[in-house]
């Protein structure tokens, strides 16, 4: 077999990502038989018509090239699994829905998942393994680090810097920064669902509410 494909994670998010993977294979004329759910703990052997196998089983299969999309929202787990893929010579597979809008000068590294109705506007730089769940957007002149997760409906306005391993909850709104003074969300921070972030968030903080305030602090998250 030439190439094998996997969606890692057969829980909620994985089942949302699988159709993006299936659509990609369809368009390339690749047989769906070469596409698996990979999950180390679910009991089911088949989910939504796809075989579920463990990572160890996927690794044992023979193929010239192997691709895996990490469809797990937790950024710490995603980071660990990305390291495993790299060690095992498996390619981090990027997936996006057909209706994703990218305007101008958007650069984004490997392993992303861009769900339906995501919009990335102009002059944006995004690191590896970014997840943008349904209806999220990233505005102009934003810089986003590695392993950042946007839950559904995150509104990330212009001139914002989001550092590595940040998690932003559903419906959070982040106020735009200024070209010479971007709003910065520090490494490993967590923004609670519905939070309205009006100022910088320190590294490792969890913020909630409107205006968002620190709930707890962890120096080494993610």
Catalytic residues: 140
Q: What are phi and psi of 132, to 5 degrees?
A: -115, 105
| Distance spanning both ends of the chain, measured CA to CA | 36
Neighbours of 170 (CB within 10 A): 17
Residue 134: CB minimum distance to ligand UDP, A: 13
What are the distances in angstroms from CA 62 to CA 26, 34, 111, 142? 22, 11, 22, 41
Q: Cα separation of 142 and 191, whole Å? A: 17
Residue choice 53, 68, 73, 208 for contact with ligand UDP (CB under 6 A): 73
Considering the rule CB under 6 A, would residue 69 count as an interface residue with ligand UDP? no
Sheet strand arrangement including 149-150: 95-96, 113-114, 131-132, 149-150, 167-168, 190-191, 205-208, 213-217
Considering the rule CB under 6 A, would residue 10 count as an interface residue with ligand UDP? yes
By Cβ distance, which residue is nearest to ligand UDP? Answer: 11
Which residues inside 19-48 make contact with ligand UDP, applying CB under 6 A? Answer: 39-42
Considering the rule CB under 6 A, would residue 58 count as an interface residue with ligand UDP? no
Q: Which stretch binds ligand UDP (CB under 6 A): 4-12, 94-102, 105-113, 132-140?
A: 4-12
Residue 140: CB minimum distance to ligand UDP, A: 29
Angle made by CA atoms 9, 109, 144, in degrees to the nearest 5: 95
Residue choice 9, 153, 188, 204 for contact with ligand UDP (CB under 6 A): 9
Considering the rule CB under 6 A, would residue 222 count as an interface residue with ligand UDP? no
Question: 190-191 and 160-162 as β-strands: parallel, antiparallel, unpaired?
Answer: unpaired
Chain center to CA of 32: 23
Q: Which is nearer to ligand UDP, 9 or 111 (CB)?
A: 9
Considering the rule CB under 6 A, would residue 164 count as an interface residue with ligand UDP? no
In three-state secondary structure terms, 50 is strand
Residue 221: CB minimum distance to ligand UDP, A: 17
b/e per residue 121-146 (b: at least 16 CB within 10 A): bebbebbbbbbbbbbbbbbbbbbbbb
Residue 11: CB minimum distance to ligand UDP, A: 3
Q: Dihedral of the CA atoms 177, 182, 183, 189 (nearest 10)? A: 150
Considering the rule CB under 6 A, would residue 72 count as an interface residue with ligand UDP? yes
Q: Which is nearer to ligand UDP, 14 or 188 (CB)?
A: 14
Considering the rule CB under 6 A, would residue 12 count as an interface residue with ligand UDP? yes
Q: Which is nearer to ligand UDP, 41 or 180 (CB)?
A: 41
Chain residues in the site for ligand UDP (CB under 6 A)? 9-14, 39-42, 72-73, 77, 81
């Amino acid at each position: 077999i030439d190439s094998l494909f996997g969606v890692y994670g057969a829980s909620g998010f994985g089942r949302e990502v699988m159709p993006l993977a299936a659509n990609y294979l369809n368009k390339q004329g690749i047989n769906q038989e070469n596409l698996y759910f990979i999950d180390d703990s679910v009991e089911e052997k088949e989910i939504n018509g796809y075989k579920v196998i463990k990572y160890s089983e996927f690794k044992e299969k023979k193929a010239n090239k192997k691709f895996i999309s990490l469809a797990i929202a937790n950024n710490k787990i995603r980071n660990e699994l990305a390291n495993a893929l790299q060690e095992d010579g498996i390619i981090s597979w990027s997936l996006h829905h057909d209706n994703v809008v990218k305007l101008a000068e958007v650069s984004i590294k490997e392993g992303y998942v861009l769900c339906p109705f995501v919009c990335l506007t102009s002059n944006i730089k995004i690191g590896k393994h970014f997840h943008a769940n349904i209806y999220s957007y990233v505005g102009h002149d934003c810089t986003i680090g590695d392993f950042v997760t946007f839950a559904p409906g995150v509104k990330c306005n212009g001139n914002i810097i989001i550092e590595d391993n940040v998690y932003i909850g559903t419906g959070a709104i982040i106020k735009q920064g200024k070209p010479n003074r971007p709003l910065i969300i520090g490494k490993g921070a967590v923004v609670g669902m519905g939070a309205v972030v009006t100022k910088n968030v320190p590294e490792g903080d969890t913020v909630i509410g409107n205006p968002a305030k620190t709930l707890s602090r962890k120096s080494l998250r993610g």
